[in-house]
Chain A
Amino acid sequence: MTDQQKIAVLVIEDEPEIRKFLKAVLASNGFNPGFAATAREGLVLLKSHVPEILILDLGLPDMDGLEVIKNLRSWSGIPVIVLSARGQEQDKIAALELGADDYLTKPFSAGELLARLKAALRRSQQSVLQASVVFEANGLYFHAQDRVVKVDDVEIHLTPTEFRLLALLVKYAGKIVTHKQLLQDVWGKNSSENNHYLRIYTQHLRQKLGDDPLKPRFIITEPGVGYKLRI
């Protein structure tokens, strides 16, 4: 595999030992990694090298990692995987809301990292192909324009709110959608505090889809963060 065939990934991380570990893992698994130790350097490399995916540490010395996401999202939609320390729950949520695709909590293993990278890349390719707005996975069929939802080929009738909720999860399938994003997109700008609605409608939606929250087949709960549609 030449460098051209490999997937270009940019890593913005200030810890030299973590960079070393990432370099070893990425280089031996079909990636062509580039590295930046500061946010400023990273933003320059993002424009000059145009990587296909970004791995971003939130605790950078010169700038908040969240600022990097904000800047990047104003001109690029490449997948972003955020690295954070344990206990930075609010930062993770903020990163997701700014447009990050996924997060990994340090310490993480090589296996976990590769799985997240592959999922994020698959998702971004799908969303490019999938202007057709048909979603199909694990026996769930969703057609946005025809407003058809089927589970194991049986058609399910959803209320408009339930449908909007599912449509949003489908739009970001495989990615965590935060509570705030769900509330604002489904119920409107001023609803970000009414978590009750979200719980109750998610429960209704799950019941109609035959999805057991104790062993979720479709909708995965991420306590404190949001929900994710399994792909």
Chain B
Amino acid sequence: MLFLRSFFRSVGVQTSGIRECYVLGLLNTKLNAVIPYFGSMAMTVAATALAKGLHFILSASDVVMIYLAVSVFVAIKFGRGPSVLFSVLSCAAFNFFFVEPLYTFEMYNRSSWLTLLVMLVTSMVISGQAISLRRQESSVRQSRTDAENEKLRNLLLSSVSHDLRTPLASITGASSSIAQDGDKLPRETVKDLARSINQEAKRLEHIVSNLLDITKIESGAILLNRQPYFVDELIGAALSHVPSFSISHRFETKVAAGLPLVNVDGFLIEQVLINLLENAAKYTQDGSVITVLASLSGGTVEISVVDNGPGIPAGDEQKIFQKFYTGHKEKGGTGLGLSICEGIIKAHQGRIWAGNAAGGGAKFSFTLPVAPPVPAEVSDD
């Protein structure tokens, strides 16, 4: 076995060496097509060496079995052409090394021809079976991913079209009513209609920008404008947006002293914090306390947003980061906010996770990479 392994290793080294020599695309493609045949040859040598090594305890039929077993491996690993090559080569090797007279392609016994023929046919049939098995498996895998993608697409379409149509319907209705009967309607009614147009348009804007963000993140089109920041600045900036989504929650902060600078896209991390704060406000009652914590943890800065609401239902800790997953339909979220957070944090090579705080409320945490130390000592005049 040791011999086999080192043999493979030497083949592997050799092929990768060849690959490095011919970096030209076309040659490389040709080479990739040829490599399995070399593999097949190598396997013939390996199987022969193995059989030869164990020859003193093996009968001729055992040797045939070794070749057949390896032929299955070759078929699965290298495909049809190389497996046919292996069948032929192994028959030849069997004849050469194991059939009297040894080390010639001749044979004394006519029945050896039959052995060889049966070996060739069996090896080919087994390989054929193995290959079709491999194909089936990969096509099952392919159709499974296709189905999953299809399901996701449908979910996206139905979710988006519903979320977009509802505000559009209100806007169309309210604005057409003002356009048609504006002069007959009481002033207060006109104002009411205008307010609902405004509110629904904001909802649309929210959905559309979320969709754009998630598309940007998923397509990898997101370019990070990384700069050093102190996290308290980013938390402060995010907290200044609170009035746009909450007037009744109490926001508190516990930021450890002396935290190092983090190396992040400040605008995007502010978005993550706003999303988490808004999420906390949405799922807790008026007057609840929402706390932002920041501390140093294992060489990264860890930030958490904790609330004292009902917490996350057991088993939902991961699901809530999935696209279009909303904890409560009636809260009217798009189910994209947390996916966006996850996308942004992952783009920063950070981690984001959810769980419940000791007190029972929900706790969302993420880590941010610490900035490299200041280039030179900052000198003040």
Question: Which of A's residues lie within 8 Å of B, judged by CB?
Answer: 86-87, 89, 107, 109, 159-162, 179, 194-197, 199-203, 212-216, 220-225
A196 close to B236 (CB less than 8 A): no
B236 contacts which of A159, A200, A215 (Cβ < 8 Å)?
A215
Query: B38 interface residue, CB < 8 Å from A?
Result: no
Give the chain B neighbours of A197 by CB distance below 8 A. Answer: 374, 378
Contact A200 B378 (CB under 8 A): yes
Please tell me if the beta carbons of A213 and B233 are within 8 angstroms of each other in the complex.
Answer: yes
In the complex, the answer to whether A161 meets B381 with C-beta atoms within 8 Å is yes
Cβ contact within 8 Å between B380 and A194: no
In chain B between 318 and 358, which residues have their CB closer than 8 angstroms to a CB of chain A? Answer: none
- Which of B205, B265, B375, B380 meets A196, CB within 8 Å? B375
Q: Does B35 contact A (CB under 8 A)?
A: no
What is the CA–CA distance of A96 and B237 in the complex, to the nearest angstrom?
19
Measured between alpha carbons, how far is A140 from B3 in the docked complex, in Å?
A: 81
A-B contact list, 25 entries, CB within 8 Å: A107-B201, A109-B198, A160-B381, A161-B380, A194-B375, A195-B227, A195-B228, A196-B261, A196-B375, A199-B228, A199-B261, A200-B378, A203-B230, A213-B232, A213-B235, A214-B232, A214-B235, A214-B239, A215-B239, A216-B236, A220-B240, A223-B229, A223-B267, A224-B225, A224-B265
**B212 contacts the other chain (Cβ, under 8 Å)?**
yes
Q: Are B253 and A223 closer than 8 Å at their CB atoms?
A: no
A-chain residues with CB within 8 Å of residue B240 when the two chains form the complex: 216, 220
- A196 to B371, Cβ gap below 8 A? yes
Are A196 and B228 closer than 8 Å at their CB atoms? Answer: yes
Q: Which residues of A contact B253 (CB under 8 A)?
A: 214
13 additional contacts, CB 8 Å, given A87-B212, A162-B380?
A107-B205, A196-B261, A196-B375, A196-B378, A199-B230, A199-B261, A200-B374, A212-B232, A216-B240, A220-B237, A222-B237, A223-B269, A224-B268
**0/1 string, B243-278, CB within 8 A of A gives 1:** 000000000010100000100011111100000000
Q: Is B209's beta carbon under 8 Å from chain A?
A: yes
**Least distance between A176 CB and chain B CB atoms (Å):** 12
* Residue ID in chain B nearest A197 by CB atoms: B378
Q: Does B190 sit at the interface, judged by CB under 8 A?
A: no
Closest Cβ of chain B: how far from A148's Cβ, in Å? 18
- Report the bound CA distance from A136 to B269 in whole Å: 33
CA A131 to CA B261, docked complex, whole Å: 37
Q: What 7 A-B pairs come out closest when comparing CB atoms?
A: A223-B266, A224-B267, A221-B233, A223-B270, A213-B232, A160-B381, A214-B236
* Docked pose: A136 CA to B268 CA in angstroms: 33
Alpha-carbon distance A223/B266, docked complex (angstroms): 5
Residues of A within 8 A of B160 (CB): none
